[in-house]
């Protein structure tokens, strides 16, 4: 075990790098979390996200060749993207808080890399930085490291910060004094479960991704189930509903300067669902480059835009929706057809 002064210096270095919460955990097998993860996969609740099933065994223990052989500790770093009451930057559509600015992978990864490089330089340590592209059960490690507890909605909740958090890790062969794991503090509160617009929670801590708006609008490639379209509402990309109602998120957000990477991108102020439908895919790719909104690609975003207009649009949106019907093999076609029917029925009923 490294001396306490060195452990304090490492924690201070991580906080000085711009992370909002830092915790240490001793590396070992995830004897409880990993079996639950495998059961989740066996039930098919991950939907189209096949990458979640890849390297499933690697996620059990960080010490294998998949992560870092000889690893002894993991430094869990949390970055808050809470920017207060700042609303969606896109007119007529909601965008998840974390996705309103630049791609967080870029600046988050740089912070982690700098911390890992410092550990190698100062302590001669092996250190591997990880963001959410590595096969790691991040929430399990965040709980073990005392960064926060796993709420009923599956999000890590850090008292004093809330749940608008992104997680990253530095796995190292240094033996750091572990922090106390944090157990659940939700009590009898079920606001997050009750707020889900598509009833995606089967029980506390059990999310069926196939019903989740974030999954449907970002990861799912095909048409959105007709029974779930109304629940999508005006949500074009992602969903924050289960977090927005959480009492732990009533805390004051960090200073805006420390969340500058999540500041709304001014490009989105000129973009709306109908604008997405009207533009060519190459134009969308250029607009979305370097942002989280690039992940689904134009076809899924056009599908989402059509669903949003089906829920919120008026007759003035019918021309742009009808124009989608000429596109071949695009999920936006079926969504546009359904949106036209929904708007006409809604307008006729008035």
Please determine, for residue 132, whether its predicted confidence score (pLDDT) is greater than 90: no
Note if 132 is an active site residue.
Answer: yes
What average pLDDT does the segment 129-149 reach? 94
Q: Give the tokens for residue 241.
A: 């509903």
Q: How many domains does the chain have?
A: 2
Last residue of a domain, one of 263, 285, 319: 263
Same-domain status, 206 and 130: no
Cα 218 to the center of its chain, rounded Å: 10
Catalytic residue among 48, 57, 132, 225: 132
Same-domain status, 211 and 241: no
Please determine, for residue 329, whether its predicted confidence score (pLDDT) is greater than 90: no
State pLDDT tens for residues 161-186: 999 999 999 999 999 999 999 999 99
C-alpha span between 159 and 80 (Å, rounded): 12
Same-domain status, 21 and 168: yes
Q: Give the tokens for residue 147.
A: 């960064």
For 23, which DSSP code?
E
Q: What pLDDT score was predicted for residue 182?
A: 96
Domain that holds residue 90: 1-27+62-197+233-263
Please determine, for residue 202, whether its predicted confidence score (pLDDT) is greater than 80: yes
What average pLDDT does the segment 289-318 reach? 97
Same-domain status, 162 and 281: no
* Full-model pTM: 0.95
How does strand 165-172 pair with strand 73-80?
A: antiparallel
Confidence band for 154, pLDDT divided at 50, 70 and 90: very high
For the chain, the C-alpha Rg in angstroms (whole number) is 22
Same-domain status, 186 and 202: no
Same-domain status, 241 and 300: no
Same-domain status, 13 and 139: yes
Q: What pLDDT score was predicted for residue 321?
A: 97
């Amino acid at each position: 075990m490294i001396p306490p002064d060195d452990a304090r210096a490492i924690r201070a270095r991580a906080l000085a790098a711009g992370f909002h919460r830092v915790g240490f955990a001793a590396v070992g097998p995830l004897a409880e979390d990993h079996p639950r993860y495998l059961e989740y996969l066996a039930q098919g609740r991950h939907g189209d996200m096949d990458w979640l099933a890849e390297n499933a065994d690697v996620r059990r223990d960080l010490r294998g060749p998949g992560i870092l052989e000889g690893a002894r500790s993991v430094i869990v770093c949390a970055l808050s993207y809470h920017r207060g009451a700042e609303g969606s930057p896109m007119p007529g559509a909601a965008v998840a808080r974390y996705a309103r600015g630049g791609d967080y992978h870029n600046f988050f990864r740089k912070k982690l890399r700098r911390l890992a490089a410092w550990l190698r330089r100062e302590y001669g340590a092996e250190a591997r930085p990880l963001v959410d592209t590595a096969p790691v059960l991040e929430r399990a490690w965040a709980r073990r490291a005392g960064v926060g507890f796993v709420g009923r909605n599956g999000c890590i909740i850090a008292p004093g910060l809330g749940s608008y958090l992104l997680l990253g890790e530095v796995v190292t062969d240094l033996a750091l004094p572990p922090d106390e794991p944090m157990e659940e503090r939700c009590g009898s509160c079920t606001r997050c479960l009750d707020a889900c617009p598509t009833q995606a929670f089967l029980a506390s801590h059990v999310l069926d991704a196939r019903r989740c708006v974030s999954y449907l609008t970002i990861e799912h490639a095909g048409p959105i189930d007709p029974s779930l379209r109304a629940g999508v509402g005006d949500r074009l990309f992602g969903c924050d509903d289960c977090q927005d109602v959480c009492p732990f998120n009533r805390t004051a957000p960090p200073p805006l300067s420390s969340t500058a990477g999540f500041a709304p991108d001014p490009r989105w102020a000129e973009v709306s669902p109908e604008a997405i439908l009207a533009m060519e895919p190459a134009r969308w790719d250029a607009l979305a480059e370097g942002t989280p909104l690039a992940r689904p690609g134009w076809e899924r975003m056009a599908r989402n835009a059509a669903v949003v207009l089906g829920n919120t649009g008026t007759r003035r949106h019918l021309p742009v929706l009808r124009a989608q019907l000429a596109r071949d093999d695009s999920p936006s076609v079926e969504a546009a057809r359904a949106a036209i029917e929904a708007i006409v029925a809604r307008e006729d009923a008035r």
